[in-house]
Chains A and B, each alone.
Chain A
Amino acid sequence: MPAADGKTGGNMKKRKRFEEIGYEPTNVKELLTEMKDVSELITDLAYSAVIFDIKDIAEEVKELESRMDKLLYQIRLTAMLATRTVEDAEQFSGLLQVASAAENISNAAGDIIRLLDTKIENRPFLPSLLQKADEKIRIISVPEKSPMSDKTIGELNVEAETGVRIIAIRKGERWMYDPADSTILSGGDMLIVRGVDDGYIRLKGFAEGKRGLNNE
């Protein structure tokens, strides 16, 4: 924001200094929010990779794992730079503990996908092991002609309407992970979803053109 003339320069300087002090914690917040999001996504993806034996998803888990390493490093540096007092240090130590916990969770997800290195005949029980959980991970195939086609995830408000979260989509040969609200769904998509039974049945029925998304 350039000063319009010399007279406001003094004020500008003051404001700028204020913003600079405020800048570091904002940054820590963004880093921590991303770490929380990734730690939750990566566990869902790791279980999906193991349940459906999908190597592409396993690769994404590995990438997210190294992304988490970088985020943890950045948040440590940023927190250190923002520390001014003993109170700051005490509070940041708790914050960094949460960040490191999120990273440890991601490492555990990374270890889960390493189970795929075992011969498939030695892990026949894995799909069923995880398929009866409270919130199940399942696949929905969107038919070529579907009322879901050409709609965005946000427009359908999928998660709030059904309690089912789309964690990955395969479009042709390409995978999209943690799709945004603006992601357009198309006929032929394969969705990996996580959620409760009745919401899943509703979403699947809707994808197949058998019912509305939110009526009984």
Chain B
Amino acid sequence: MNEIEELFLEMKDTSELMIDLAYSALLYNSREIAEEVFNLEEMIDELNTNIQKKSVASAVNDGNVEKALVMLRLANCIESIADGAMEIADVVLRDIEPHPILKMSVMESDTIIARVAVDEKSVLTDKTLGETKLTSKTGMWVIAIRREKSWFFGPDENTVLKKGDIIFARGPKEGEEGLIKIASGRKRRI
């Protein structure tokens, strides 16, 4: 994978994580999650600047202006998506409690966000996210983990789950129950 592809992938994945986190922040009225959306925005800006430099450099090298333009435009689109996530998170950072309808909308949409605690008895305890295959087994994609006072945002397949962790996961309504059963230890096999 070349460098510019990697930059785009990171930008796209980050923008999608930001959207999921922004809706989670709304649902749970969490300033901490909302603030992470703003932190990630800084990363997006940096990635965008890097892509801009690489695009210009590539046009200088091969003289293909159109190709460079496609790269610049795509990066701008992803940046706008990330900005949308920020606008959503911003509502949580005001000193006014978000309208209750916001919570209801997030709960009733096609894609919901679940919050579950990992029990000591759970098969998830002390396993990496990759090992658990949680997403392909429940449909739920883990976007954040809270361990006591600390947060892991956008965990990857190597992130180890511990008892007491609070998992925030995005997925279909039908996936929530399965996730709860597995995390609570009521279902021993994934």
- Determine whether B94 belongs to the interface, using a CB cutoff of 8 Å to chain A: yes
**What is the CA–CA distance of A118 and B22 in the complex, to the nearest angstrom?**
33
Interface residues in B71-116 by Cβ distance below 8 A to A read 71, 73-74, 76-78, 80-81, 83-85, 87-88, 90-91, 94, 96-99, 101-102, 104-106, 108-111
Chain B positions within 8 Å of A165 at CB level: 172
- Determine whether B159 belongs to the interface, using a CB cutoff of 8 Å to chain A: no
- Determine whether B178 belongs to the interface, using a CB cutoff of 8 Å to chain A: yes
- Determine whether B126 belongs to the interface, using a CB cutoff of 8 Å to chain A: no
The contact string, 1 if C-beta is below 8 Å from chain B, for chain A 125-162, is 11011101111000000000000000000000101111
**What is the CA–CA distance of A91 and B135 in the complex, to the nearest angstrom?**
35
**What is the CA–CA distance of A199 and B136 in the complex, to the nearest angstrom?**
5
- Determine whether B70 belongs to the interface, using a CB cutoff of 8 Å to chain A: yes
Interface residues on chain B, number (Cβ under 8 Å) = 59
Q: Are A43 and B9 in contact (CB under 8 A)?
A: no
Chain A positions within 8 Å of B174 at CB level: 157, 159-160
Q: A172 to chain B: closest CB distance in Å? A: 26
Q: Are B9 and A111 in contact (CB under 8 A)?
A: no
Report whether over half of chain A's contact residues are helix, strand or loop; otherwise say mixed: helix
**What is the CA–CA distance of A135 and B17 in the complex, to the nearest angstrom?**
11
Q: Are A111 and B66 in contact (CB under 8 A)?
A: no
**What is the CA–CA distance of A25 and B100 in the complex, to the nearest angstrom?**
10
Q: Are A159 and B101 in contact (CB under 8 A)?
A: no
Q: Are B96 and A94 in contact (CB under 8 A)?
A: yes
Interface residues on chain A, number (Cβ under 8 Å) = 58
28 CB < 8 A contacts A-B: A28-B101, A36-B105, A36-B109, A39-B84, A90-B96, A92-B99, A95-B102, A98-B102, A101-B88, A102-B88, A105-B81, A108-B80, A108-B81, A111-B76, A111-B80, A123-B67, A130-B12, A133-B13, A157-B174, A160-B178, A161-B137, A162-B139, A163-B171, A165-B172, A195-B135, A195-B136, A198-B133, A198-B136
Residues of A within 8 A of B (CB): 25, 28-29, 32-33, 36-37, 39-41, 43, 47, 90-92, 94-95, 97-98, 100-102, 104-105, 107-109, 111-112, 114-115, 118-119, 122-123, 125-126, 128-130, 132-135, 157, 159-165, 178, 195-196, 198-199, 202
Residues of B within 8 A of A (CB): 1, 4-5, 8-9, 12-13, 16, 19, 22-23, 26, 64, 66-67, 69-71, 73-74, 76-78, 80-81, 83-85, 87-88, 90-91, 94, 96-99, 101-102, 104-106, 108-111, 133, 135-141, 171-172, 174-175, 178
Instruction: Rank and list the top 10 A-B pairs by shortest CB-CB distance, nearest first.
Output: A199-B136, A101-B87, A108-B80, A105-B84, A160-B139, A122-B66, A91-B99, A163-B135, A94-B91, A160-B174
